[in-house]
Amino acid sequence: MNNECFIFNERLDTHLRNRPSELEEAKRNGVKIVGFFPGNYVPEELIYASGAVPLCLIHGGNPKPAETALSSVPRVICPFARALIGEMMLKENPFYSAVDMVVAPITCQHLRKTAEIWEYRGEPEVFKLGIPHQVYDGLEVNDFAERLDALKDKLQALTGNKVTDAKLTDAVKLYNRMRQLLRKISLMRTSNTSVISSMDFIKLNHVSFYADPVFMTEVLEEIYGELAESNTASDNDAPRLLLAGPNIAMGDYRVPELVEAAGGNIVIEEICEGVRYYWNEIEAGDDLMKSLAKGYLTDRVPCAFMSSSAGKRLEFMTKLISDFHVSGVIWYELLDCEVYDSEAYFFTQKLSEQNIPMLILEADYGTADIGQFKTRIEAFIEMVKEEVE
Give the total residue count for the chain: 389
Task: Please tell me the distance from the alpha carbon of residue 7 to that of residue 173, in angstroms, as a whole number.
Answer: 26
What single DSSP character describes residue 305? T
Give the residue with the Cβ less far from other proteins, 346 or 379: 346
Residues in region 188-217 near other proteins by CB under 8 A? none
Per-residue contact flags (x/-) with other proteins for residues 352 to 371, judged by CB under 8 A: ----------x---------
| 132 forms part of the interface with other proteins (CB under 8 A) | yes
| Torsion sign across C-alpha atoms 362, 261, 314, 172 | positive
- The least CB distance from residue 251 to other proteins, in Å, is 22
Comparing CA positions, the residue from 195, 183, 181, 276 lying closest to residue 232 is 195
Write the CB contacts of 246 (distance below 8 Å, at least 6 apart in sequence): 108, 271, 272, 273, 303, 304, 333, 334, 337, 339, 340
| 139 forms part of the interface with other proteins (CB under 8 A) | yes
The size of the interface with other proteins (CB under 8 A), counted in residues, is: 51
Give the residue with the Cβ less far from other proteins, 278 or 340: 340
Q: Which of 57, 102, 131, 141 binds other proteins (CB under 8 A)?
A: 131
- The least CB distance from residue 26 to other proteins, in Å, is 27
Q: Which of 22, 27, 63, 73 binds other proteins (CB under 8 A)?
A: 73
Stretches 37-45, 52-60, 159-167, 306-314: which one binds other proteins (CB under 8 A)? 306-314
- 338: three-class secondary structure by DSSP: helix
| Torsion sign across C-alpha atoms 332, 338, 339, 344 | positive
Per-residue contact flags (x/-) with other proteins for residues 319 to 348, judged by CB under 8 A: ----------------xxxxx-xxxxxx--
| 37 forms part of the interface with other proteins (CB under 8 A) | no
| 304 forms part of the interface with other proteins (CB under 8 A) | yes
Q: Contact 324/342 with Cβ under 8 angstroms?
A: no
Q: Contact 137/24 with Cβ under 8 angstroms?
A: no
Q: Which of 134, 191, 192, 234 binds other proteins (CB under 8 A)?
A: 134
Q: How many CB atoms lie within 10 A of CB 264?
A: 27
Q: Contact 103/127 with Cβ under 8 angstroms?
A: yes
Give the residue with the Cβ less far from other proteins, 148 or 288: 148
Residues in region 91-120 near other proteins by CB under 8 A? 106, 108-110, 112-114, 116-117, 119-120
Q: How many CB atoms lie within 10 A of CB 336?
A: 19
245 φψ region: left (φ > 0), alpha (ψ -120 to 50), beta (else): left
| 170 forms part of the interface with other proteins (CB under 8 A) | no
| 309 forms part of the interface with other proteins (CB under 8 A) | yes
Q: Considering all CA atoms of the chain, what is the largest pairwise distance in Å, rounded to the nearest integer?
A: 62
- The least CB distance from residue 325 to other proteins, in Å, is 26
- The DSSP bridge partners found for residue 56 are 36
Q: Which of 201, 305, 331, 365 binds other proteins (CB under 8 A)?
A: 305
Give the residue with the Cβ less far from other proteins, 170 or 362: 362
Contacts to other proteins by CB under 8 A: 71-74, 76-77, 106, 108-110, 112-114, 116-117, 119-120, 127-134, 136, 139-140, 143, 147, 304-305, 307-311, 314, 335-339, 341-346, 349, 362
